[in-house]
Amino acid sequence: MQRMQAEAQELKAEGIVGVTLEEKSHGWGSHVIEFFALGTAIVPTDDQAQIEPPTPVLDLNDR
């Protein structure tokens, strides 16, 4: 997630939306867990653009 935040800051994004996070274990290494995060950076198209603050959502049903 830190990499995602760094990339959004490089783009001067106002935020990141639509984030999905996947966790996978691999048979070749029981002590290895892979995390994959994907999201969309929101960047204003001009100085007049107003983007409403996003509402964080955490789905607890996937546990």
Residue 54, domain member (yes or no):
no
pLDDT band at 59 (very low <50, low <70, confident <90, very high): low
Domain count, the chain: 1
8 neighbors 36 (Cβ within 8 angstroms) = no
State whether the Cα torsion 19-54-4-28 is positive or negative.
negative
Residue 17, domain member (yes or no):
yes
13-47 pLDDT, tens digit each = 888 888 898 988 877 767 788 888 899 998 888 77
pLDDT band at 4 (very low <50, low <70, confident <90, very high): confident
Residue 32, domain member (yes or no):
yes
* Domain around 38: 2-42
**What's the predicted TM-score (pTM) here?**
0.57
